């Protein structure tokens, strides 16, 4: 819940009240949703029960991109629900100044069945993960691998926050990264006329060929390729520091968009209440 609040406030860049946040995100319980907010370094209280994220300069180092270590990452999971589903494939490549420095790759025993849909999507079967390490063993190694690097993924909002959710569940030290780099968001900004900005769409656009789509390491390798292309382009346009790259990739929210979403959420709630009446 706290991560969802951060993503909202980070995109809006202005204070919102607890009530506005609650309505926008559709949380079931107002007070429970905000437990831990006051102790989280990412947030600042603005009075009258309003909250915002701290300034970006206080969240992210102003390191030059050529000096930044990127941890390009991908996961495959048993499903998309944080806290319920589990990681079955985790891979990452450490990249600095365009050079791939080190690799991390591991199948994980999720201790729950892999359904047919996930097997069809990833090719990973239940027998493939039998006897593989548990996430309790794999995640500490991954955290060590990341070090002080910057997390990168294609559709980072899923991979990054799923991993962070697992880290919290396992009661491990959190990744030092506050805001991940998302090559999907970069693609939308740099290739505005391209309709399909997923890995398949970008692969077709750039003529990049690879096998085993939806396996972690091949997807990481493709993302590394896209990242290098995008970093070259943004640096030509003067975006040469991590701080400015995060600001560039950000998909902002307007007050109008906030209010429209709140109205839709309120309408859904009224409809559900009306439909549940005997």
Catalytic residues: 214
Cα distance between residue 230 and residue 249, in whole Å: 11
Which residue matches tokens 């000096």?
Answer: 67
Question: What dihedral angle (degrees, nearest 10) is formed by the CA atoms of 178, 181, 184, 185?
Answer: 70
* CA proximity to 89, closest of 138, 29, 158: 138
Whole-angstrom CA distances from 248 to 160, 167, 235 are 19, 28, 11
Length of the chain, in residues: 278
Q: At what angle do helices 242-249 and 183-190 cross, to 10 degrees?
A: 70
Query: Please, are residues 1 and 33 in contact by the beta-carbon 8 Å criterion?
Result: yes
Tokens of 114: 């892999």
How far is the CA of 87 from the CAs of 107, 169, 198, in angstroms?
9, 13, 21
Angle at 211 between CA 205 and CA 215, to 5 degrees: 105
């Amino acid at each position: 819940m706290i991560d969802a609040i951060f993503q909202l406030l980070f995109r809006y860049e202005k204070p919102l009240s607890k009530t506005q946040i609650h309505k926008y995100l559709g949380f079931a319980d107002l007070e429970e949703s905000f437990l831990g907010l006051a102790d989280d370094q990412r947030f600042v209280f603005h009075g009258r029960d309003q909250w915002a994220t701290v300034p970006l300069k206080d969240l992210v180092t102003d390191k030059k991109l050529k000096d930044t270590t990127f941890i390009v990452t991908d996961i495959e999971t048993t499903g998309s629900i944080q806290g319920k589903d589990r990681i079955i494939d985790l891979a990452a490549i450490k990249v600095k100044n365009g050079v791939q420095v080190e690799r991390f790759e591991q199948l994980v025993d999720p201790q729950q069945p892999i359904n047919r849909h996930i097997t069809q999507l990833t090719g990973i079967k239940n027998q493939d993960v039998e006897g593989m390490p548990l996430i309790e063993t794999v995640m500490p190694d991954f955290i060590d691998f990341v070090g002080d690097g910057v997390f990168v993924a294609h559709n980072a909002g899923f991979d990054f926050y799923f991993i962070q959710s697992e880290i919290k569940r396992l009661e491990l030290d959190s990744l030092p990264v506050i805001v991940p780099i998302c090559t999907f968001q970069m693609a939308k900004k740099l290739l505005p006329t391209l309709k399909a900005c997923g890995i398949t769409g970008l692969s077709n656009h750039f003529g990049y060929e690879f096998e085993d789509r939806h396996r972690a390491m091949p997807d990481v390798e493709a993302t590394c390729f896209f990242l290098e292309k995008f970093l070259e382009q943004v640096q030509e346009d003067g975006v040469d520091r991590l701080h400015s790259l995060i600001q560039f990739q950000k998909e902002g929210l307007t007050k109008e968009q906030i209010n429209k979403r709140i109205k839709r959420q309120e309408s859904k709630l009224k409809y559900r209440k009306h439909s549940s009446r005997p």
